[in-house]
Amino acid sequence: MSYPIAPGGLAAVLAHPDDESFGCAGALALAHEDGATTRLLVVTRGEAGTPDGMPDPSFGDTREAELICAARAIGLDEVSVLDGYPDGGVADRPFETLVTEITAWLADRRPSAVITFGPHGVTGHPDHIVVGSATRWAVERLAESGIAPNAVYVLSPIFDPSGGLYDLSAEEQAATHRIEITSLADRKLAAFECHASQTDTASIAALRAAIEAEAPIHEGYHRVRPLVPAPHPNFDTALL
């Protein structure tokens, strides 16, 4: 997908195809419905997401096709995938290079807000942790030039319909924003289902059950920049 000329909007910087669907599809879909530009940068092609966990370059093609399917379901205006970062081995590449590439991507697009991973990467996956850290370093570099996003959020999956328990950091456990995505939960489900090569059926089943039960569905986020604590959690609002 080519990115639109209009800067601003909401961007997510994540590690693998499917991170967007499990993490922030609802917030991105809501931003798109409100007329904001929505973008996604993925660092790897997901070639290690095979059933046996062994990297397969051709499997990366499958994962990229699933990513484009999910992006259309969500309503993203742009999807970018970096070159040269192996799935499961992002930490083996120079950190400075990753920061530089993310910085350049953000500088070209000037999103108003960015979503990424927190210190434990939700699941503890090393790629998640490195990408989240590099994104925050990139934002600080942009701040030195006066073009940093207005806000940075990390995923805080404490409202996951599946009730999944993760090894979360203090930031990831303490959501400052709870976004109700009930009206667009079908888009999140459709994005989930695009990633047919993956096997997290429990999350998909939990989301489908919540939709069928007409239960409120939320995503959680912790605003980590600017570091000015709100007087109380800003629940049931938007990120922009």
What does DSSP say about strands 10-14 and 151-155: parallel, antiparallel, or unpaired? unpaired
Instruction: Quote the CA–CA distance of 5 and 7 in Å, as a whole number.
Output: 6
**Tens-digit pLDDT profile for residues 26-62:** 999 999 999 999 999 999 999 998 888 888 888 999 9
The verdict on pTM exceeding 0.85 is yes
pLDDT of residue 133: 98
Number of neighbouring beta carbons within 10 Å of residue 65: 13
What is the spatial order of strands in the sheet that 177-180 belongs to? 78-81, 38-42, 10-14, 113-116, 151-155, 218-225, 177-180, 234-235
Q: What are the residue ranges spanned by the domains of the chain?
A: 10-235
Whether 1 has a pLDDT exceeding 50, the answer reads: no
- Would you identify the CATH topology of the domain 10-235? Rossmann fold (3.40.50)
Structure tokens at 228: 């000015």
**Tens-digit pLDDT profile for residues 50-93:** 888 888 888 999 999 999 999 999 999 999 999 999 999 999 99
Share of the chain above pLDDT 70, in %: 95
What does DSSP say about strands 218-225 and 177-180: parallel, antiparallel, or unpaired? antiparallel
Q: Among 178, 173, 176, which residue's Cα sits nearest to residue 227?
A: 176
- List the beta strands (DSSP E) in 48-176: 78-81, 113-116, 151-155
229 has which bridge partners?
none
Q: Is 156 helix (H, G, I), strand (E, B) or coil?
A: coil
pLDDT of residue 142: 97
Q: For residues 1 and 68, is the Cβ–Cβ distance under 8 A?
A: yes
pLDDT of residue 238: 78
Q: Among 45, 134, 136, which residue's Cα sits nearest to residue 88?
A: 45
**Tens-digit pLDDT profile for residues 105-151:** 999 999 999 999 999 999 999 999 999 999 999 999 999 999 999 99
pLDDT of residue 232: 67
Instruction: Quote the CA–CA distance of 63 and 101 in Å, as a whole number.
Output: 22
Q: Among 48, 173, 80, which residue's Cα sits nearest to residue 119?
A: 173
**Tens-digit pLDDT profile for residues 194-233:** 999 987 778 889 999 999 999 999 999 999 998 766 666 7
